[in-house]
Amino acid sequence: MPVSRDRLTVIGYGVGLAALLFAPHVFYPVLVMKVLCFSLFACAFNLLLGYAGLLSFGHAAFFGVAAYVAGHALKVWGLPAPIGLLAGTLAAAVLGWVFGSLAIRRQGIYFAMITLALAQMMYFAFIQARFTGGEDGLQGVPRGSLFGVANLADDMNLYYFVLAICAFGFWLIHRTIHSPFGQVLKAIRENEPRAISLGYDVARYKLLAFVLSAALAGLAGATKTLVFTFASLTDADWQMSGEVVLMTLVGGLGTVFGPVVGAAAIVTLEDQLADKVGSLVSVIMGSIFVVCVLLFRRGIVGELQALYRRITGSR
């Protein structure tokens, strides 16, 4: 079984990548880029919840801080796009280190409440800070060019740049999950006291996972600024934190592809509903939350995997 499953994974990656290379010719490129950014965001979140068992309800803070810092670096300092993204990612990593050090002092439900509260603190800080533009946000961020080689103002050029960034992010997450580090994270999720008794410095592992997750969420946020050419308070509010939880839950917690599928589903749904139902959209999102928790906890990918196992009769 292991051989054919590995081959299946490789085929899956190949088909996925081919589809993504071709996608902007069929769909509106900006929409696909939005899906890609949120996929990366959800995967980063899932690294923490799905593999380390830590529910962060404050991931919008990292997404938002990176969006603002990248926007500021591109617009005010006039830095090239890759450096701007790097600056945003670094800012998110630093913030992740601070939040992580505080939040890992408590467990379970408290962890979620602490991250939510800290993220709300950042939200209020963003409202008052001068460099964020307050209520208006940062508008008209230039996309610039890729070291003078490719003009990123062109949607197609930008698309392949964004695809490369997200592919790098997914690769990094995939490597992390399947590394010895990832195995220790899973051990901590399954049985923390046992991991401690085996001699692992649990706090350090959790903190490192938190920083990595925050940094990747930041990369997603910074890339989002580049795509939409603005950063606003919406990127950092608690609904955004909830949205990434929902994407991961719908797609499948703790599955590699689940968050990607979930992000695609939610972004597309929002895009379709936006001009039809107005403010009822949060009612629909909330109902999806409730239905998922009650009936559908494995998510789309989780259910498909279970179905596949039943058909092939393996485990």
Partner 1 sequence: MSEIFGVPVAALMGQLMLGLVNGSFYAMLSLGLAVIFGMLNIINFAHGALYMMGAFLAWMGLTYWGIGYGTALILVPIAVGVFGVAIERTLLQWIYKLDHLYGLLLTFGLALVIEGVFRYQFGVSGKPYGIPEPLTGAFNLGFMFLPKYRAWAICVSLTVCLATWFMIERTRLGAYLRAATENPQLTQALGINVPLMVMLTYGFGVGLAGLAGVLAAPTFQVSPLMGSNLIIVVFAVVVIGGMGSILGSIVTGIGLGIIEGLSKVFYPEASSVVVFVIMAVVLILRPAGLFGRDS
Q: Which is nearer to partner 1, 173 or 249 (CB)?
A: 249
Binding site for partner 1 (CB under 8 A): 55, 57, 102-103, 105-110, 112-114, 116-118, 120-121, 124-125, 127-128, 238, 242, 245, 249, 278-290, 292-294, 297
- CB 102 → partner 1: shortest distance, Å? 5
- The structure tokens 């190949």 sit at 14
State the number of CA atoms in the 13 A half-sphere of 48 facing the CB.
33
The CA distance from 221 to 243, in Å, is 14
Tokens describing residue 265 = 């589903």
- CB 254 → partner 1: shortest distance, Å? 12
- CB 21 → partner 1: shortest distance, Å? 35
CB 225 within 8 A of CB 67: yes
Q: Which is nearer to partner 1, 294 or 311 (CB)?
A: 294
Helix or strand holding residue 145 (H, E): strand 145-146
Helix or strand holding residue 146 (H, E): strand 145-146
CB 218 within 8 A of CB 88: yes
Q: Which is nearer to partner 1, 99 or 228 (CB)?
A: 99
Q: Which is nearer to partner 1, 283 or 306 (CB)?
A: 283
- CB 158 → partner 1: shortest distance, Å? 32
What are the CA-CA distances from residue 216 to residues 11, 17, 44, 277 (Å)? Answer: 25, 20, 6, 32
Q: Which is nearer to partner 1, 180 or 278 (CB)?
A: 278
- CB 234 → partner 1: shortest distance, Å? 14
